[in-house]
Amino acid sequence: MMRLMTGFVALMVWAGTALAGAGDSPVGLWKTIDDKTKEPRSLVRIVEKNGVFEGRVEKLLNRRPDDDPDGLCRACPGERKDKPVVGMTILWGLSKDDDVYKGGEILDPKNGKTYRCKMELIEGGAKLNVRGFIGVSLIGRTQTWLREE
């Protein structure tokens, strides 16, 4: 019985540590939520490479009539033009600075424009505020993404 209790306590400590660590980083899969319609729009996987964070679209959700029927970024310039949005890196160059991730950029595949970007984990890492802006952070939009894993 004592071994069973010791094993149970060890399992609980391990689980608590694993869950606590999940909220410390934006690394993982996120459901993007449209800030205007409040509908889920995509799944984006954020990864970290040498202290720099980037995000790639894994799936499109809740397609609307005005979305490209082939899921291509028609409005994107350069190498992204007419490429599939699924698999596309839309978030790049962010580095951690205290509790905020900043210094990067985010692409809006709908209009093909790139904006400066910052993000901040909230609610213990269950949500991520992602702000795209022009110039200063006051001129922009914020979306709150939900952690999927």
Cα–Cα distance measured from residue 47 to residue 64, given in angstroms and rounded to the nearest whole number: 28
Residue 129 pLDDT > 90: yes
SS3 21: helix
Confirm whether 137 is domain-assigned.
yes
Confirm whether 120 is domain-assigned.
yes
Confirm whether 95 is domain-assigned.
yes
How confident is the model over 26-69, as pLDDT tens digits? 999 999 998 888 999 999 999 999 999 999 999 999 988 889 99
Buried b or exposed e, range 128-145, using 16+ CB within 10 angstroms: bebbbbeeeeeebeebeb
pLDDT score for 36 = 83
Across all residues in the chain, what is the average pLDDT?
87
Count of domains in the chain?
1
- Listed in sequence order, the residues at least 6 apart from 128 whose beta carbon sits closer than 8 Å to its beta carbon are 26, 30, 119, 120, 121, 122, 144, 145, 147
Whole-prediction pTM value?
0.82
Confirm whether 10 is domain-assigned.
no
Residue 71 pLDDT > 70: yes
From 19-23, 116-120, 135-139, the region with the lowest mean pLDDT: 19-23
Confirm whether 111 is domain-assigned.
yes
- CATH for 73: 2.40.128.520
Enclosing domain of residue 80: 25-147
Confirm whether 13 is domain-assigned.
no
How confident is the model over 107-126, as pLDDT tens digits? 999 999 999 999 999 999 99
Residue 144 pLDDT > 60: yes
Confirm whether 1 is domain-assigned.
no
| Higher-scoring residue by pLDDT: 148, 1 | 148
Cα–Cα distance measured from residue 14 to residue 32, given in angstroms and rounded to the nearest whole number: 30
What are the residues facing 91 on neighbouring strands? 55, 106
